[in-house]
Structure 1
């Protein structure tokens, strides 16, 4: 791995930070520490519109590390901020001091009491927790929109809620216990009586202080009533003072004060939630009303009905998506005052669901709707309705002026004043010229999100934003006594307004809570509480244009869990942050030295370790594929010598492929003579001596694929397929000692023979290639030229597209789908087996456990369900570890093996002991999977061929 940090970076740190750096080096691996300008900027960026660059970033993996680092920071009086996924929107996770980032570990999951509880490490993503609970019909209560990316640590720190959990199933209400580390390194497990007793003995001033505050609040009737009233609607402004009324034991109070404290009171190292029921049946209806008043009245009625969610959307919200594919046509016909409610009801049975839908319709009887009330329980149909709601934020983001950011704020009104509050908010947005602004939100809780675009590169624009937020705060608090934060957390942007919302007495309690638990004020200072009335207008994040492919990025971080390099170098968000800084430096000419550092850092952090797999696009609200940017930059940076070599390979492709086969044969022969241990030592030494230029050998390296005459096979049964073995499969055979020693084309032909297919091959196949290798290396023109050659050969052999095409390698087929004539009916192995062979073969399920790895390309083609179905027809138990992209990325498993190792670091532990084999649909991916999984991986074709017989 390239060393991006330099000695001069450490030397440039202030003295106290240098001492912290030395202390941290004794605690964490060198790769987990950063003080260089590239990684501190990239790793220090979150989803908010604030920019602070930490002096030091430490990626922590264990509680012991956190304890030691907090102790060191306390000795040196240095502030520390914690970061989970960095999806928070209010500036909770940025700092100019020390940033501790959850990385790698923190993934513990223990399902307890038959699913009634679940204990989770703070690095578990919310969706992963729900996946563990799904077989038991349970889920965690919080359901934020970012649940596919946000981590449990952040969910608790921000008291996350969401569309369906309201105020009864949020983080606070479903918390069972916590494991904590306080600012001085003291540990506490609130679920362990022994730990509670030890804490009370070690920190009596904390226990006594919390008890004193509890008693003072109870004695102040006005304050107690205000606290109760404030939490009848969603509220995450300031500390959760309801803990003093809901609990009597000081340690229980402490546990619930931590919820929503945004890392300002303690570090959370484990959370135990009480889970909630996940109903098996759902139905949704999009209700259209002539105006907000009627929608608000409907919401008030629905509050007492069997409704899981009711999302309100104003007319500008609906207008932002009405032209998008798949949207209901009626949206384009609505009048200027129209409003929508997207209502969902859930039940344990289809019969109960139908009754509930009828009950909802009865509750709303008499209210004027623009369309009849119609619920649908068909998944494809109600998902299209929810696409209306999901599409609003991306639509606003996509339409914004480049260089501006998308600001999303949330407030809450008493539900009886929802319509009035919404109109007042609309009027304020128009008065301050936020004409593109939209309003939507969780109507049952009076919780509204308002979204608008804002530039922060002009002082006049910052001043406009400041005036707007001042008036929003005054309106919400003074006029409606609402919440300035319903669920997004206070952060930096509402910290100056906490006193306004709560009043002097409650704000004083919050100050005392902070002083009691963090007396030196070192944990996440200036977050949640800040007496500077202009603090929310400082440290605003610039979003300079970087490249048309990524300029719509809002830096939300939804992409990060899917990125194979997330624990190694940079994520897609961080790559975009880096490119934006490079573009800014080029445009301004500010610092040639800094520009040089960033461009040098990009070479490894951005380019070499980017797998260009494109899975980030699937999670991105704006549909951005950062891998396309990497490939475009590779193309821009190619040298004449590299172009000449690539052209020579393309022109003499058959010879180049023969060279690869010869190299594999040589490596296999050397391995046979030297043995695995000596071969590994020699090749590792050679790679080190070459400074990483020689490829990394692995025992899973394929043997040479046997060369065979692949001639058309006619059986006369009326079934035809054109089979194109990908070049990688034509070169690479099975690994030495693989369970099935046949070449992939041999197994494929065996399978097709049993199904009675005539198998046809394209002419001059040795020179054919889909172009994927050229594209990924930055030669798109050569890639397209090779694709055109393949297209011509396939059109000729398929009779103009009449006969389907089977390619045995998923990534190649995905490239072919995007590059070849649409008349060609293209299939990779899983898709072809699922669509064409399941009814033509007799499957005999084996009593064994097998693992599957669904490749990036198969996921992008929507084949993950088909993959599981095919494997389940062959084996009694199928496991699919959530590895995402394996990071082998063509040849990077050889040239940048640390990427593959990092992406698959959890694979071996995720495989059950009785799993002896794995299956995928990409030969190169299978190399890395075998290396890091500890079991041999081969193509799914081998499994299906072994488990099927011809039908009579």
Structure 2
């Protein structure tokens, strides 16, 4: 660590706990990575939790002249969220919000994810204006600081246009709340010089016709290149100018600690049409015709884009037959009611009815059909990312040109791509705003490749600026990527004005220096991120960070993106042979940061644009590490019935000790034993299960499925956990899950049959999670054979009572077997056969990661809604982190994943889920008992007469 950083670090330790000051090589590398194709490794990463901490930090940075960079989610694409100095990240203390004036306004702290803000507003049929493609991962701080927009946002609803007020912290550590008259009054007194200077710059700008007209002209399009100079002509009050300058400033002028947005309507009725044209120029003419119609989004897809997805499942065959100059428009319209929606759809269709289309224009309001259309559009970026050569990265640039010149711009861009050999490049974009995105793959492993990229960017910049007078960055922010071209786009006078603003608000240049404004003409070619091969399971990762909000270890150690970043560096160092000491340290630290604390839940794959399951990488690493234990795993697999019996005995002994010692003494004893054993003794909690009684299987049923019983049959497959683990001590229900399930299915009119030798059967999940693939496959193969027999090769459905087991089995068993997870089976075949009386009190519902991956979230919500008058699904809780037995062996993972749970369910008396092991951790950390949803359904159900 450099001397100035050591002094700064010593100062920070006076008011920030050491665990929030990151100095080790692994986490500095991992936390310092954003979605761009640049990399700088910070000297120090600091996690701040409050405005007070941040104010002290900024003052310390100013005193020691240490540059600092603010980071929200790190989904930015232009290199604006990285640094080789001090990276400041947001902890849990930045997630508060306030809804004001019946949701006409919403105040949001910077740590709130954009999609979460819209979930807060959904009951009011309102939303925030910005709608970037990264909204499910991007945080409000980054959305505002980059002036991110999106498909429906345009220029009317971006952060600049919908800003009401903000709390901001300047480079001198001063906090200003522009929505608080007292704060504004005090600031006018203490910062009169600053405000007078801003006022003077604004007056000079407005008095300069050439400059003010230039500014007005530039913002007729989407534009995030440089600073928001329009604030100098749009507003006269220096307070208004100051707060609007913060929008899009990328953390170079101050820190936005809260923003209040004016919200916009979120109409519930939506219709979409995917319209194909044989000619790009015709598609662009259609854009001009519908611009004045009630459209909310018009997305242009060029022929290269259509070609990238034409062979994917579900794509209509005619796409492959479209001519070389073809294009498509994805049009969406929204309305307050169905009648208005129909009228709007007709107006839009009429507006382009005279233009020749490849297929008839058809609007649909069917949610599934609309989702398929938008999946096509959203699949364009990953379509390039998934097929790129290993070692290359995917780059997505965005520009804006006047709509009448859209077709010419697309053609000109393709000519540039051909000139520099980017044959795979494709173009799509927000056509209503003339906003084009182009996506291509790029290697940076040789000077010739770097030169090729430099030539491409030079040609694109000249084309956009000199030929179209457009925007080089329409919505992705300037960052380091476009900093060398800001003067080209804006001209010398406007560029000088931007430097004056930077000097005025950050005279010491400590706030994210080098971003937006940079004198280095080749900064966009420096610090390029390596993307070495690491493992085929993750080599397609584009490091976008979309996965991070789903990960249960995100606040404890690493996220999926960070695991991949680190593993790539380990692989690079192993191949190169350089710095063996660093390699050894990274490998050692990865053991805990990357492996032990990975739940391997796979939720990351549901958010990943290219479908990567980082849990597969973790299991592969465990497989290589645990090869020496393979024979032990195989022995356990072959003697599984004995293991099951032993586990029940252990649970009985533990419960007896619990009864004898009491919860407090039992917890103290086991914590002591765990500490003495070096964490080899499993963690015990009062929520530990009792032993479940062994399932008694009538021989007449288990050996012969032809019983003559007229009732429909179902094969019930209780999981290992269901067979071994009963309710916790003191539970509101003493019956095991298997007993309760049998009673429910019988009540619904089913004859329940069981596989033979049940205690010896297992789906293989316990072995798979530890990388014991041979043992896992042995068990799933055994189970497959028995299910084929007992179901008469699929004639009888199979009911699996635990979602994680169902997920594995669906990947492993014979397709002839009709396997249903409990949620799916209950939703389809059971609830309609029962009379349900819902409970009056609110209940908590946890949707497991496996249920999410199985696509059963909606079904579980429907069942819960039938059984309770109010269902609480805690926000920000995805995977619980119990991960089979991780809740016992690495309890801090479970604790971190559920750190917010207790206060989210404080009004609930009980909770429900669909995995017995998950329910142990949920019960422990919530303070209420969690059980399978089966218990609730059985309690509420009576036979339908």
Structure 2-normalised TM-score? 0.98
1:637-693 residue CA offsets vs partner (Å, 9 max, x unmatched): 1142x2232122112111112222222222222222222222222222222222222
Please give the secondary structure, in 1, of the residue aligned with 2:832: coil
Distance 1:586 1:371 in 2: 54
Specify which of 902, 922, 933 is matched with residue 929 of structure 1: 922
Contact 1:715 1:758 (8 Å CA) reproduced:
no
1:947 match: 940
Runs of 4+ in 1 over 4 A off after TM superposition: 712-715
What aligned pairs does 1:202-217 form with structure 2 within 5 A after superposition? Answer: 202-217=190-205
Contact 1:558 1:619 (8 Å CA) reproduced:
yes
Specify which of 399, 403, 406 is matched with residue 391 of structure 2: 403
1:508-562 residue CA offsets vs partner (Å, 9 max, x unmatched): 1111111111110000000011111111100000100000000000000000000
2:904 match: 910
The alignment covers a number of residue pairs equal to 938
1:744 match: 737
2:169 match: 181
Specify which of 662, 667, 670 is matched with residue 654 of structure 2: 667
1:715 CA displacement: 9.2
1:34-78 residue CA offsets vs partner (Å, 9 max, x unmatched): 111111001100000001000001122222221121121111100
Matched, 1:650 2:643: no
1:566 match: 554
Matched, 1:840 2:833: yes
Distance 1:454 1:426 in 2: 16
1:246 CA displacement: 1.6
1:186-242 residue CA offsets vs partner (Å, 9 max, x unmatched): 111111111111222222222111111111111111111111111111000000111
Specify which of 592, 600, 621 is matched with residue 580 of structure 2: 592
Distance 2:132 2:774 in 1: 43
1:168 CA displacement: 0.3
Contact 1:327 1:384 (8 Å CA) reproduced:
no
Please give the secondary structure, in 2, of the residue aligned with 1:915: coil
Specify which of 409, 415, 418 is matched with residue 430 of structure 1: 418
Matched, 1:896 2:890: yes
Contact 1:726 1:807 (8 Å CA) reproduced:
yes
Please give the secondary structure, in 2, of the residue aligned with 1:440: strand
Contact 2:695 2:723 (8 Å CA) reproduced:
no
Q: Which moved more, 1:661-670 or 1:524-533?
A: 661-670
Distance 1:725 1:398 in 2: 38
1:345 CA displacement: 1.0
What aligned pairs does 1:7-156 form with structure 2 within 5 A after superposition? Answer: 13-156=1-144
Distance 1:731 1:30 in 2: 42
Contact 1:829 1:940 (8 Å CA) reproduced:
no
2:704 match: none
Specify which of 805, 808, 821 is matched with residue 815 of structure 1: 808
1:386 CA displacement: 1.5
Distance 2:929 2:141 in 1: 36
Distance 1:910 1:257 in 2: 37
Distance 1:181 1:404 in 2: 39
Q: RMSD in angstroms over aligned alpha carbons?
A: 1.2
Contact 1:559 1:616 (8 Å CA) reproduced:
yes
1:412 CA displacement: 0.5
Q: Which moved more, 1:680-689 or 1:880-889?
A: 680-689
Distance 2:59 2:674 in 1: 40
1:390-415 residue CA offsets vs partner (Å, 9 max, x unmatched): 11111111111110000100010011
Contact 2:75 2:134 (8 Å CA) reproduced:
yes
Alpha-carbon distance change, 23 to 678 in structure 1, aligned in 2, over 3 angstroms? farther
Distance 1:151 1:717 in 2: 57
1:405-456 residue CA offsets vs partner (Å, 9 max, x unmatched): 0010001001122122221111111111111101110111010001111101
What aligned pairs does 1:761-800 form with structure 2 within 5 A after superposition? Answer: 761-800=754-793
2:819 match: 826
Distance 2:680 2:45 in 1: 29
Specify which of 695, 716, 720 is matched with residue 727 of structure 1: 720
Distance 2:635 2:388 in 1: 44
Please give the secondary structure, in 1, of the residue aligned with 2:909: strand
Distance 1:370 1:746 in 2: 60
1:754 CA displacement: 1.0
Contact 2:695 2:738 (8 Å CA) reproduced:
no
Distance 1:328 1:189 in 2: 54
1:158 match: 146
1:703 match: 690
Q: Which moved more, 1:642-651 or 1:724-733?
A: 642-651
1:118-150 residue CA offsets vs partner (Å, 9 max, x unmatched): 111111111111111111111111110011110
Please give the secondary structure, in 2, of the residue aligned with 1:692: coil
1:266 CA displacement: 0.9
Contact 1:717 1:756 (8 Å CA) reproduced:
no
1:772 CA displacement: 0.3
2:338 match: 350
1:681 match: 668
Specify which of 256, 267, 271 is matched with residue 283 of structure 1: 271
1:326 CA displacement: 1.6
Distance 1:639 1:601 in 2: 21
Contact 2:131 2:149 (8 Å CA) reproduced:
yes
Contact 1:493 1:535 (8 Å CA) reproduced:
yes
1:766-807 residue CA offsets vs partner (Å, 9 max, x unmatched): 111110000001111111110111111112111111111112
